[in-house]
Structure 1
Amino acid sequence: MSEQYVLETRNLVKEFKGFVAVDDVNLKIRKGHIHALIGPNGAGKTTVFNLLTKFLIPTRGQILFKGKDITPLKSAAIARRGIVRSFQISAVFPHMTALENIRVALQTAENNSYSFWKSGASLNKLNQRCMELLDSVGLAEFANTTTVELAYGRKRALELATTLAMEPELLLLDEPTQGMGGEDVDSVVELVRKAAQGRTVLMVEHNLSVVSKLCDRITVLAQGAVLTEGEYGEVSADPRVREVYMGTAKDKAPAEQEATQ
């Protein structure tokens, strides 16, 4: 594999009792790119993420990270290699403050999350880095706010900050703008753009306006298989993409359809 690719899958397959959820998927994620995985509901996008992070075990195929086969590794080992993901739903601790959430992530990154015998004061050394991460996602003023009190968009920003605390080389974002209004979506677009500096991002995203603004390359899945791949302009103009992604609106490109929703 060329060094220009951070992640590669080779003939990746996942079957569930005869149902093929991921069908011979070959991905090549270029270093430094923001790469989108799109497709209709049930196309297999989140299943691919679960395979990459070993929440699911592939039926067949290989996953390579920086040229090395990581298929046999477990989730924790993959995260330690530098592949870190977010989830469709917010995955922060609701009754901790924003700063405490970041501090937990930093403890995990330093492999001391189970040092129960240490005093809370011993963790204060992490506070400066916590504040830097909170500031990077526009949450510095909410450092001492209990997470449950944060607006939804800010919770998603906090989740991104906790993910960045793990210092990922490859960041997997699963529906980062799900459930957001226009203003929050614009904020998240800018956050993802900042988060992508110096790293590679693979994202599942339904909002095609977001994809068009952010992504260098797009892979379209349909029924578990790769339908096509390319830059947004060529993918959005592909009649096969219009058919599977837009249903009856075959005469509209995805960007046009997005504007009508």
Structure 2
Amino acid sequence: MSSEFVLETRNLVKEFKGFTAVDDVNLKIQKGHIHALIGPNGAGKTTVFNLLTKFLIPTRGQILFKGEDITAMKSAAIARKGIIRSFQISAVFPHMTALENVRVALQRFEGNSFHFWTSEKTLNRLNDRAYQLLESVGLEAFADTVTVELSYGRKRALELATTLAMEPELVLLDEPTQGMGHEDVDRVVELIRQAAVGRTVLMVEHNLSVVSKLCDRITVLTRGAILTEGDYANVSQNPKVREAYMGSESAAVEGAH
């Protein structure tokens, strides 16, 4: 395998009691790219994500990270290797402040991850880095705000800060703009662009305008299989893609072009 590919799947298959949710998927995610997985509802996008992060075990096929076969690895081991997933639902502690959330993520490097009752002295050492991360996502003014009081878009920004605290090599973003208004979408697009510097990003995203602005390469799934792959200009003009999306989503393909 060429080292230019951070992540590769080979003939990936996932079956559920006779139903094939992921059908012979071969992905090649190039280092430094923002790569999107798109497709209509039920296309298998989230199932692929669950296979990559070991929330599901493949029925057949291989997953390679930087040339190493990680198919049999558990999700915690995958995370330690530098593959970090950000969920559809904001995955932050609602009753901690923004700063406290980022500090918990930074504890990974103290060798005491998930020891939530670590001394205040130890945690204070992490403050400088935590403030830097909050600043990087535009949340420096909200460091002491309890997370539950943040707007939805700012919660997603905080989630991105906690993801970056893990110093990932590959970031998996599961519908990062879902449920957002235009203003929040624009903010998150800019955050993803910043977060992608020096990293590789694989994202599932329904908003094709976001995909058109951000992504170097796009893989289109339908019925669990790859329909086509390419840059946005080529994918958006593909008649099979328009047919797969149909109706309003087909219009979204045109509108985002």
Q: TM-score, normalised by structure 1?
A: 0.95
The structural deviation recorded for 1:122 is 1.9
Q: Distance in 2 between matches of 1:184 and 1:249?
A: 21
Work out whether residues 170 and 202 of structure 1, in 8 Å CA contact, stay in contact via their aligned partners in 2. yes
Q: Distance in 2 between matches of 1:234 and 1:78?
A: 33
SS in 1 for 2:178: coil
Matches within 5 A, 1:27-38: 27-38=27-38
Work out whether residues 99 and 134 of structure 1, in 8 Å CA contact, stay in contact via their aligned partners in 2. yes
Provide closer, same or farther for how the CA distance between residues 136 and 71 of structure 1 changes in structure 2, counting only shifts above 3 A: same
Work out whether residues 171 and 201 of structure 1, in 8 Å CA contact, stay in contact via their aligned partners in 2. yes
Structure 2 match to 1:131 = 131
AA paired with 2:129? R
The Cα RMSD (Å) is 1.5
SS in 1 for 2:58: coil
The structural deviation recorded for 1:210 is 0.3
Q: Distance in 1 between matches of 2:58 and 2:211?
A: 27
The structural deviation recorded for 1:111 is 3.2
Provide closer, same or farther for how the CA distance between residues 111 and 43 of structure 1 changes in structure 2, counting only shifts above 3 A: farther
Structure 2 match to 1:185 = 185
1:254 aligns with 2:216: no
Structure 1 match to 2:5 = 5
The structural deviation recorded for 1:248 is 7.6
Q: Distance in 2 between matches of 1:154 and 1:130?
A: 16
Work out whether residues 104 and 114 of structure 2, in 8 Å CA contact, stay in contact via their aligned partners in 1. no
Provide closer, same or farther for how the CA distance between residues 147 and 186 of structure 1 changes in structure 2, counting only shifts above 3 A: same
Which moved further from structure 2: 240-249 or 92-101?
A: 240-249
The structural deviation recorded for 1:255 is 3.2
SS in 2 for 1:184: helix
The structural deviation recorded for 1:185 is 0.5
Work out whether residues 208 and 252 of structure 2, in 8 Å CA contact, stay in contact via their aligned partners in 1. no
Instruction: Could you tell me which runs of 5 or more consecutive residues in structure 2 were left unpaired when the two chains were aligned.
Output: none
Work out whether residues 54 and 73 of structure 2, in 8 Å CA contact, stay in contact via their aligned partners in 1. yes
Q: Distance in 1 between matches of 2:212 and 2:101?
A: 32
Structure 2 match to 1:226 = 226
Work out whether residues 236 and 253 of structure 1, in 8 Å CA contact, stay in contact via their aligned partners in 2. no
Work out whether residues 209 and 255 of structure 1, in 8 Å CA contact, stay in contact via their aligned partners in 2. no
AA paired with 2:176? P
Q: How many residues align?
A: 257
Structure 2 match to 1:235 = 235
Structure 1 match to 2:66 = 66
Q: Deviations over 1:44-86 (max 9, x none)?
A: 1011011000011111000000011000100000000010010
Work out whether residues 109 and 165 of structure 1, in 8 Å CA contact, stay in contact via their aligned partners in 2. no
The structural deviation recorded for 1:110 is 3.6
SS in 1 for 2:55: coil
AA paired with 2:253? P
